[in-house]
Structure 1
């Protein structure tokens, strides 16, 4: 069982799957007292600037409602214990555990790259999903404003996009989102895992509190920005009982679309989440994992298209039926359960970055 670290979603420096050597901390008895001399160093967030080579990621997955996405950051300070993106830090020779939420990378040239890709003569506009792998409005965005810079480019180009976030900071950019919404160019989904602030503080320690997300949802909706809710992830015996309550609260806050995603435990996320269960819910940890295994064909995770977001079996069918009934009960549009349709016809190819212009070197 791990020891919870305040403000962090995991207590583990679990090594990534590509590491050739692994270090392990062993208590030799000399650090048994509680003096500051032997105290573990306080974990601080480190942000490293990264010069990215490309910014638009493309996929052909039938499980998601978009084919293009943009992520201005790698790693996420929200520290969600269940985050499916944690394994990506292994490619950087960093831990998908604590490193993922404390050692972050900011793509400082993100807006410039986006402008470059949108300005290409052969580019065909399709809605972009902003901040899918890691939250585009995580705490470091307050200072760095990379997401805001991206939205400024999208507004100039009249390019449609959707975003999903756990942070109320999205309200800051209402001055950009409102004119986009007036042209059917944007939709905002809020990921709401639970209405219980105590559970939220354990699951996603540095994300906005549930009530703050709902308040931001209402403010966006009142300003004319279409909003939706994503109940994600649904975790058996942890927050699954709240599905209907979250959908009702989101409806009351102005959401007109809804979706849900079952807990996903790819690669290193599985042992990290097991450790989280042992730390915070040891009494039900075995029951939770037993149900997850039933949903995933006897494994911790099944990555196959068609089942990875919903699972399979009796519990999965029950959850699906509950969602459909709740969607009908609370008046959500059945055709608008994921990403609303956005207008691609307004696209205006932006001017390329200055250095890409032949005359640029003359000035």
Structure 2
């Protein structure tokens, strides 16, 4: 799960100014070039996007994702209450097992994608996208029963360490994390501070995401980058890594007009929930699952060396616009431009050749299976 800046109506929660992360001064001292993102000053790069991308693929990168919303949701019937808003099977989810899900509107459109983890029978930990977190909170407060309490964990930062050497390096500081498997989480301790860590991330690589008390995060970040495998990595490489991994970016590849089936996120529709058809937009979503959606998110390999960016048109032989590119860029690990686009279902099969139009120039592209780079999640620990 990742996110992108967006403009919202004032819902009573929206920040009125660009905010700073707990690690703001630390990023600047490390040479981070800061940009506005999701209402915060955030580092887009340190030594360069290409170098940071490849370092993460080969070693381990430290990402500050503290702009994202960390929520603690409590109540005797919290799991059942949340099931009314999303298609995940939460009531029977194992403790400390993270699940990806989607906050849906009444038409089945995606309001946000998120991660949730049951920490106790009456408590769910949830991470939502930074650009939508205030809207998400407002939506949940409106729709959850009064006996469910939602707290934003604004006194906590969120760090991710990603890459094939990530867990080995983190385990030197936090012994025991190496025993976690993909999407498993647990409580840990570092220097007297409580941490919540899950073996997850949004790069396609192995790694962990760690909720850290804000008061301790600078010392913890410094201890992490003191490990020879770990370097700080900015938003630019985070985006190119998730694109290679075929992972959608909210606000680009996902929005309230797109359903889970159109987005090729059918795995998020759990069997029990499909059979009960008791989540928002179920009739539409299940009909699309049965009959196929009008359009579908696909991966594209673009001919040549020039990247095709978000907003480019997908056109048919007659020049009619039939789809749109939602993410695109040069893929350092692939060595070629790649993109994601929504195309008609008839054009969604791998191997289909399509034409992309960007600023009046035509680009040939081929629909391909995603991910572009194989995922390297650790689903079992030896």
Name the structure where strand makes up a greater proportion of residues. 2
Same fold (TM over 0.5): no
**The TM-score by the shorter chain falls in which range?**
under 0.3
- Give TM-score, length-normalised by structure 2: 0.22
- Give TM-score, length-normalised by structure 1: 0.22
